[in-house]
Homo-oligomer: A and B are copies of this chain.
Amino acid sequence: MSIRQSLLAILNQGPCYGYQLRSEFDRRTGSTWPLNVGQIYNTLDRLERDGLVEKADSDQAGHIYYAITAAGSAEAHGWLSSAVVRVGPARDELAIKLAIAVTLPDVDVAAVIQTQRKSSLGTVQELTSLRDTSAKPASTEDLAALLVIESQLFAAEAEVRWLEHIKTRLAQAAEAGVRAPMPLSTKTPKRGRPVKRTLHNAPTQ
């Protein structure tokens, strides 16, 4: 839901045509997220379908402009005046992965953490040097790009910190004797004849 809103926010500045929107988005986000041009036209179609934009007059060059509607303007304004609410909450693949991993008997969680930490540390370093080159922003574009890089940097740093933190958590848990490997739950099915199930009496594969 962010490309949609971004295009809407840009269109709120004035009518644009598709190709232009791509460069506007690129320019305003430091070209951080490559955006396939085709996606612009898809999104425009969907925005038009939802009544948030409409086709406007062409210019002398024949470009096909889209203009924001009142509803679209309201939505853009709403987006910018309300907080990004992490509903759900954020389905972070890494968190899911590690939660699943600690519940699996045959997974070396410490190794998973190490592998990830190495990778994430690499990301941190890349982002750090990237940021250093973007040191002093001279334009609003540069500023925007810097913010994006630092956003990723902060997130990557938090990831590393978390990974290091959960290493101690795992140690604590192991010390407390919470290391029982966890097979599939053996809760008795309620339908039909109850059947105690473990990994060892599971139906043949």
Instruction: Give the interface of A toward B (CB within 8 A).
Output: 1-2, 5-6, 9-10, 12-16, 20, 23-24, 27-30, 32-34, 56-63, 65, 67, 79-86, 88-105, 107, 111-112, 115-116, 118-120, 123, 136-148, 150-152, 154-159, 161-162, 165-166, 169-170, 173, 176, 178-185, 187, 189, 191-195, 197, 199, 202-205
B-side contacts of A10, CB under 8 Å: 100, 184
Given contacts A61-B194, A81-B115, A82-B115, 8 further A-B pairs with CB under 8 A are: A2-B93, A60-B192, A62-B191, A80-B101, A80-B104, A81-B111, A86-B123, A146-B169
B90 near A191: Cβ-Cβ < 8 Å: no
Work out how many copies of this chain go into the complex. Answer: 2
B-side contacts of A183, CB under 8 Å: 13-14
Given contacts A150-B165, A182-B141, A202-B15, contact A80 B107 (CB under 8 A): yes
State in angstroms the CA–CA spacing of A96 and B23 once bound together. 15
B60 near A193: Cβ-Cβ < 8 Å: yes
State in angstroms the CA–CA spacing of A80 and B163 once bound together. 15
B99 near A84: Cβ-Cβ < 8 Å: no
State in angstroms the CA–CA spacing of A25 and B30 once bound together. 38
